[in-house]
Structure 1
Amino acid sequence: MIAKRWVRGVVGGAVAAGVLAAAAGCETPPAPKAAPGPTGAPRQTPAPSRSPSPAATAPEPAPEPCPEGGVRLVEGSGDAVMGLRLEGYRLVNCGTDAYVLEGYPQVRLLDKQDQLLEVTVGHGSAPITSEVPAVDAPPERVTLAPGQTASMALLWRDRITDVSVPPVEGWVLEVTPKPGAPRLGLRLTRPVDLGNTGRLGVGPWRR
């Protein structure tokens, strides 16, 4: 009797162990862990590029107003040989009407302090030098339509004849184009350096 009970106990335990093992084999395995993400910094999305704003356009300078009388005096080109100076100046009709010139302009010089200089002004090249066509041409009538230009020439020598007399330099040219017209002033970039000769030759208006 004892042997039979022991056999049944062994068999029953084996069966129970088999059932538990089968039950354990039927359990659903756990889901795998997710793979770790990249360890670097998160990727930045580039910001949309902005087109450069257009550069601010510098305002154009306002045009110089036309002087009273409707004409403007402009410094021209010059020539210098052995102390002899020849400078050209232009008169521009910046008005709206025709401008008539005839003969010689009236000319005077001022220094850097705008003080009037004592200068002997004559028509033509004598007695400064021999004949110069730009200065010794005969006067003629010149009519300037709006925008047109006439010219005149000045002639002088830069020479020191007396060391006791200080040299003269004109830095402002004042011109009366014709009798009764307003006087025009022009600050020069090149002086009228007369030395101490004190003489200035003026040519007529030319087209």
Structure 2
Amino acid sequence: MVGTRWVVGVVGVVCLAGLVVGCDTPPPPAAAPGPDPVGAAPAPRSPQPGPSAGSPQPEDCPEGGVRLREGSGDSAMGLRVADIQLVNCGAQPYVLQGYPEVRLLDRKRAPVEVTVVHGGEGITSAPTGVDGDPQQVELRPGQAAAVGMVWRNLVTDTTVPAAEGWVVEVTPRAGAPRVELELGHSVDLGNTGKLGIGPWKAMAR
């Protein structure tokens, strides 16, 4: 009991001394933020930009600003007609003139021995759309041009393996980077060894 009264007395003296000298008692420190109460709704966050659900993702655009896609095709009695389309996926206009340079690769990406000619002469006399005079084609971003192809799937020599191109490599214009496309339908040349191509033609959007 004596010890308790002594402590209380000391505290009272200290408080009295504070009143005599006019010192204010410092305010208590601000409470540190604590966890949210259980069940409290979280604070709203600023919306973050991003693709909406189900929106298509943009396709990669190659270095040259263009990419290839496979067009339509037709076949009758061994005669094949197809087209390869070039899309301007860049931000600047893309100008084409004349014929592209075309190479074929097989499934193992080895070059296919084929002679590429302009037009369908020597392959067919039927109209296929690969003939015509070359003209300058300017593609605005998002526009496309097509190059027609014609060949025959014939085996005239059973001692020569039939050739099939499953990858097409295209140099769209002189000095441009080469672009390639894996085909869903092969260029099945048999052993004719000849592929006719047309000039670049603009496609309607």
After TM superposition, the score normalised by the length of structure 1 is 0.70
Q: How many Å apart are 1:196 and its aligned residue?
A: 0.2
Unpaired segments ≥5 residues, structure 1: 1-56
Cα distance in structure 1, aligned partners of 2:75 and 2:133: 23
Q: Mark the CA change 1:90 to 1:58 in structure 2 (over 3 Å): closer, same or farther.
A: same
Q: Could you say which residue in structure 1 is the equivalent of 2:144?
A: 149
Candidates 71, 75, 79, aligned match of 1:76: 71
Deviations 1:64-119 (A, max 9, x none): 21011111111000010110000011111000000000000100100000001110
Out of 173, 185, 188, the residue aligned to residue 183 of structure 2 is 188
Sequence identity, in percent?
58
- How many residues get paired? 151
Q: CA RMSD in A?
A: 1.5
> By how many angstroms is 1:63 displaced?
2.3
Distance across 2 between alignment mates of 1:148 and 1:161:
41
Give the letter aligned to residue 139 of structure 1: P
Counterpart AA for 2:60: P
The one-letter amino acid paired with 1:109 is L
Structure 2 unmatched ranges of 5 or more: 1-51
Larger Cα-atom Rg: 1
Deviations 1:130-158 (A, max 9, x none): 15351111100000000111111110000
Structure 1 residue 128 corresponds to structure 2 residue 123: yes
Secondary structure at the counterpart of residue 152 of structure 1: strand
**Gap change, CA 1:80 and 1:133, over 3 Å in 2:** closer
Matched residue, 1:201: 196
Matches within 5 A, 1:48-63: 62-63=57-58
Distance in 1 between the 2:191 and 2:175 partners?
A: 31
Distance in 2 separating the partners of 1:151 and 1:111? 22
Q: From 81, 95, 104, give the equivalent of 1:86.
A: 81
